[in-house]
Chains A and B, each alone.
Chain A
Amino acid sequence: MRVVAAILTLVIAGGCNVTPLQEDLDPASVGGQAVEYYVPPTSPLGGVMSDLLASAKADVLKLSLPVVQGSLGGTLEFVTSECELEIPVFDLSAEVLDSKLQIAASMGTAEVTVPLEVYTEGELLRACFLQVNAPERDLHVQLAFCSEPENGPALVVDGAPDIVGMPVTAELDFDCPQQPGSEVQSVVIGSVEDIIQDSVLGFASGLEEVAGDAVGVNSGAAGSMEGLVDFLMLPDSAAAEMGAADLRIGLLGGFESIRAPCVPTDAADLPPSVEPPADFPERVPDLEVPYGLGVSVSKGFLSQGLAAAYRGGLLCRRAGAGDLSDVRLDDLFPSLRALGSLSAVRAAVWPGGQPEMEFTTPDPAAGEDLPRMMVTLPRLTVDIYGNLECTDLRLLSVTADVLVVLAPRLENGSLAFGLAEAHIGSMDINFSELLDESDEDLRAGSIAAAERVIGRLVADMGLLEVPRPACGGGDLLKSALEGGRILLYFAP
């Protein structure tokens, strides 16, 4: 179950704590459209980018005015001191328009008093001040996809940024000496204009990264889960596009594993299964508020991940993996009480066949908003151990066809799993040496014990952080199952 969680984390997120891979996966294991991000026209990208800039403390341009010197006319010369100038950026807006991401922002008025020293023939004559004023300006930047197939898609500045506004002015103290031919205003203004220009260009370049974070261009991951399953999920250059008013990014994805000793020898990886991308523009979800991000996940991609997890041994668990808290057995098997005080139940889990996964709609009455995951685990063996006076004793071993229905949910941005249902079928009891129940009681108790252990294992999976493209950083508004994909709609 942990694997499924990890897969979903990757899927929704495009990022988790993983070990970077040194080598890519075999291309034959990787398919396109494993995951899709869709940014609708209603996505408030401007606000999202403003928040990103603010959190990075990049919503204020901080300019350093260098020392400049020149002539004040005649024998008079001036030298300015270094000083700082701050220009706030506000009213940032961004929207997809005609296959470009159009970004506009206002740059606030900035004023600074520049100290200035006046010299004559090398001797300091007096100190003055120059009042510099940079009036409010408007910035327009246009980003477009620049697809480098080997590097994945990227948003880059398309054309020169457009800066519109009144020019910088500079006013010298009225009693500061200057003579005809003084160049103080022109030199200082020219210097400030150059610095503002450079800074704005840098800011525009920085918007590439911010926009990439907002829409998911910079998402994706490649690595290894516990060294057993290698995976890759990266934005695909060929599947990144902007339309008239929306944007979509398809991600390549795949899983590979080497068969672990704990799984049957016939375990096999699955090829990538590629479903067509969801046609988000045609699907208008019944929502009361506009959504910021649509995510669609290929079921085939998840199934491939589950198969790789199975083959790589991530579904195996040995008894030494740790105690299962709060699992009681003596109420199911009263004969255990004769053994004494059993503590610390442990479990070993051994999958016996290729698992399969399906999805069903969530149960809103149970507070569920993500599709339920039905995982079939054929011929799963569960060994249950109890600890009696520092001795781990196998109390029960059963092999059964197990159907686990998981109810995933998002909690504060992290993914958690609940066990909605567990069904144990075709059960064989392999071992029950220390139990003294009747066959009927043993069977009933074994089913209940297996359900408890599976429930505990699911509960112990813990929370998994689920980072998302920033334009979908809000609550999950709705989920849907359509075709071969899971659709998720997130608030901005």
Chain B
Amino acid sequence: MQQRLWILLAVLGAVAVISGCQSGVMMGPCGDGCPEGTVCDFETGKCVQPRPPDCPKDLGRYLSVASDSTGRTIFSSYTTDYGDLVVGSIRSDSTMNCEYVDGLGSDVGLYTSLAVDQLDRPRVAYFDRSNGRLKYAEKTAGGWEVVTVPRTGSGDNVVGRSCSLALDSDGLPHIAFLDETAGTLNVARKASDGRWAVEVVAGADNGDWPGTLGGEVGRMISTVLDTKDREWIAYRDIHSKSIKVAGRQPDEWSIIEVEADTDLGSWVSAALDLDGNMALAYHDRDEGVLKYAWNQDGSLQKTVVDTGEETAENGAVRKRPVGQHCALAFGCDELPRILYLDGATLELKLVVGKPDGGFTEPEVLSSEGAVGFFNTLAPGPDGLHAASCRYERNQEGDIQATMVHFRLDAGISTWRGRR
């Protein structure tokens, strides 16, 4: 009897946190009930593990952060504990609370991209790996509303990997993502009436595309909106392996090639400076370096921020791959900050732009464990909110992700940056 009561409570608890679980407790979907330690997911009719009231042990993969107007850090992440999308916040005492937004019965929550609207409500774009779909969740007064973004073209296309979300001045989402079956970069926009429109941005005419990316692909898309709510999408062209920027003009897309003819890595991060100029940080896998490109009076400028070189005791200069998992944001001092992974030391590093256009020497922000994965940066009223993923082994020897977060001093708070 006690066991049945526990299961019932667990079910109720799960229903409370699951978006879209509108139905009440009823007989049928899970037959005669679920085995001990599991609860019935009424959406799928499957018995699933109940989610705990606190954050999962594994947290920090596919991380994205934003700040609300009070300076509170909001984050979204994928957890391998349950294959869920988790959204949470960091309290003033650095403890965290989490909500299991989506994932009962399916593997969802990869490539989370988080934004907070002007009413401080979190919105998240993410990938549903079980069904190969792009999903979008937004928190409302009634709880989480989760939708699967409609597909265009073939109904079987796998869409949504590497999605990147930006909110326009009306708080409506613009999501850039990959249609990996078609080999295209797409953008989905939600109108004020709730309908979605999907547009192909680039890559539609490549007949050699094999129809798959072959697995997870890093963050190869990063989207910002300018003051006219036009999308500017920095992305890795999966056909040419180059880095490009697509800008939405009134009648067409303008495509700017930032780096061509090189096997660049899969890590790109874009941001607007305080004057609305686009900049991007990206990793060059061939050279193993972190690069930075920016718009200076309409002219594309590029520089190598970190060459990855270090000098050994014998005087030899050795190179190591740096710049993966990069994240770019501007502080209120108008200077860029870039977080990134040192692939050799597995440290989280930070470089800060200088007024003369250069960058500071790389600073190790964290070296505890293997840290520096899925880095994310977001401006807030009291500095830049930074978070990263650390991999550690748990007692069972499994790799477990832990979210680590920082607050970076970023000049005087003026909150001019677009969230």
Binding site for B on A (CB under 8 A): 261-266, 318-320, 335, 338-341, 348, 350, 352, 381, 383, 385, 389-394, 397, 431, 433-434, 436
Complex Cα gap A350–B317 (Å): 9
Q: B344 within 8 Å of A by Cβ?
A: yes
Q: Is B370 part of the binding interface, using a Cβ–Cβ cutoff of 8 Å?
A: yes
User: Are A320 and B287 in contact, CB atoms less than 8 angstroms apart?
Assistant: yes
Of A266, A338, A348, the residue contacting B397 (CB under 8 A) is A338
- CB within 8 A of A392: which of B343, B369, B397, B399? B343
**Given contacts A338-B398, A348-B320, A390 and B343 within 8 Å (CB-CB):** no
CB-CB < 8 A to B309: which residues of A?
261
Interface string of B265-303 (1 = CB under 8 A from A): 111000000000000000001111000000000000000
State how many angstroms separate the Cβ of B160 from the closest Cβ of chain A.
Answer: 16
Check A392–B285 contact: CB distance below 8 A. Answer: yes
Please determine whether B373 and A383 come into contact, CB atoms closer than 8 angstroms. no
Cross-chain contact A391 with B319 (CB below 8 angstroms) = no
A434 touches B370 (CB 8 A): yes
Q: Out of B316, B321, B391, which one reaches A352, CB within 8 Å?
A: B316
- Stretch from B8-16, B112-120, B210-218 forming part of the interface with A: B210-218
Question: Do A262 and B316 contact each other (CB < 8 Å), given the known contacts A383-B344, A385-B321, A385-B343?
Answer: yes
Is B324 among interface residues, defined by CB-CB distance under 8 A? yes
Q: Is the CB of B316 within 8 A of A263?
A: yes
Nearest CB on B from A443, distance (A):
19
B341 within 8 A of A: yes
Which of B215, B285, B370 is the one whose CB lies under 8 Å from A433? Answer: B370
Asked whether, in the complex, the Cβ of A391 is within 8 Å of the Cβ of B316, the reply is no
Known A-B contacts A319-B288, A338-B399; A264 and B320 likewise in contact (beta carbons under 8 Å): no
Residue B195 CB within 8 A of the other chain: no
> Which of B215, B314, B369 meets A389, CB within 8 Å?
B215
What are 5 sample pairs from A and B whose C-beta atoms fall under 8 A apart?
A264-B316, A319-B343, A350-B316, A389-B217, A392-B321
In chain A, what residue has the closest Cβ to B287? A320
How far in angstroms is the closest Cβ of chain A from B286? 5
0/1 per residue, B350-394, Cβ < 8 Å to A? 000000000000000000011001000000000000000001010
Q: How far is the CA of A135 from the CA of B236 in the complex (A)?
A: 76
Q: B residues within 8 A CB of A262?
A: 316-319
- What is the bound-complex CA distance between A261 and B316, given in angstroms? 6
CB distance from B283 to the nearest CB of A (A): 9
Flag if B316 contacts A318 (CB, 8 Å): no
Q: Is B418's CB within 8 Å of the partner chain A?
A: no
Residue B66 interfacial (CB < 8 Å):
no
Complex contact B315–A265 (CB within 8 A) = yes
Q: Does B74 contact A (CB under 8 A)?
A: no
* Residues of B close to A264: CB separation below 8 A: 312, 314-316
Give Cα A80–Cα B345 distance, bound, in whole angstroms. Answer: 88
Classify the interface of chain B: helix, strand, loop or mixed. loop
- Tally of chain B residues near chain A (CB < 8 A): 36
Residue from A352, A397, A436 in contact with B393 in the complex, judged by beta carbons closer than 8 Å: A436
Contacts of B243 in A (CB 8 A): none
Q: How far apart are the CA atoms of A393 and B391 in the complex, in Å?
A: 12
Selected from B265, B287, B318, the residue in CB contact (under 8 A) with A390 is B265
- Give the residue of A320, A340, A433 whose beta carbon is less than 8 angstroms from that of B321: A320
- Complex CA gap A261/B344 in Å reads 19
Instruction: Find out whether the CB atom of A318 lies under 8 angstroms from the CB atom of B319.
Output: yes
User: Which residues from A are CB-within-8-Å of B319?
Assistant: 262, 318-320, 348
> Is B85 located at the chain interface by the 8 A CB criterion?
no
Set B287, B325, B398: member contacting A391, Cβ < 8 A: B325
Is B59 interfacial (CB-CB < 8 Å)? no
Is B185 located at the chain interface by the 8 A CB criterion? no
Residue of B nearest to A321 (CB): B286
In the complex the two chains form, what is the Cα distance from A88 to B398 in whole Å?
81
CB of A27, distance to nearest CB on chain B (Å)? 29
* Contact partner, B324, options A335, A392, A431, A436, Cβ 8 Å: A392
B346 located at the interface, meaning its Cβ lies under 8 Å from any Cβ of chain A in the complex: yes
Q: How far is the CA of A466 from the CA of B370 in the complex (A)?
A: 48
Of chain A, the residue at the smallest CB distance from B369 is: A433
Complex Cα–Cα for A178 and B319 (A): 92
Is B266 a contact partner of A390 (Cβ separation < 8 A)? yes
Q: What sequence of 0s and 1s flags, for each residue 247-280 of chain B, a beta carbon within 8 Å of any chain A beta carbon?
A: 0000000000000000001110000000000000
- Given the complex, which residues of A lie within 8 Å of B321, measured CB to CB? 319-320, 385, 392
The answer to whether A339 and B341 touch (CB under 8 A), given A265-B315, A391-B218, is: no
- Distance from A391 Cβ to chain B, minimum over Cβ atoms (Å): 5
Across-interface contacts of B344 in A (CB, < 8 A): 383, 394, 397, 431
A320/B285 in contact, CB under 8 A: yes
- Residues of chain A with a CB closer than 8 A to B267's CB: 390
Q: How far is the CA of A419 from the CA of B215 in the complex (A)?
A: 34
Residues of A within 8 A of B218 (CB): 389-391
Q: Which residues of A contact B314 (CB under 8 A)?
A: 264-266, 352
Question: What 3 pairs across the A-B complex have the smallest Cβ distances?
Answer: A265-B315, A390-B218, A264-B314
Question: Which residues of A have CB within 8 Å of B398?
Answer: 338
Measured CB to CB, the closest approach of chain A to B323, in angstroms, equals: 10
> Known contacts A320-B286, A433-B370: does B316 contact A393 (CB below 8 Å)?
no
Q: Answer whether A391 and B373 are a contact pair too, CB < 8 Å, given A264-B316, A319-B321, A383-B344.
A: yes
B216 pairs with A389, CB closer than 8 A: yes
Please give, as numbers and ranges, the residues of chain A lying within 8 Å of B343 by CB-CB distance. 319, 385, 391-394
A353 (CB) vs chain B CBs: closest residue: B314
| Cα-based distance from A282 to B301 in the complex (angstroms) | 69
> Looking across the interface, which residue of chain B has its beta carbon closest to that of A335?
B397
Q: Which residues of B are found within 8 Å of A350, using beta-carbon distances? A: 312, 316, 318
- Cα of A320 to Cα of B290 in the assembled complex, Å: 13
Task: Kindly list chain A residues whose C-beta atoms are within 8 Å of the C-beta of B288.
Answer: 318-320, 392
Task: Find chain A residues with CB under 8 A from B393 CB.
Answer: 335, 338, 436
Identify the closest chain A residue to B309 (Cβ): A261
The answer on a CB contact under 8 Å between A261 and B317 is yes
With A348-B319, A389-B218 in contact, do A394 and B346 touch (Cβ < 8 Å)?
yes
Given A266-B314, A341-B215, 14 other A-B residues pairs in contact with their CB atoms under 8 A: A265-B316, A320-B288, A338-B397, A340-B399, A348-B319, A352-B316, A381-B318, A389-B217, A390-B267, A393-B370, A394-B320, A431-B345, A434-B346, A436-B393
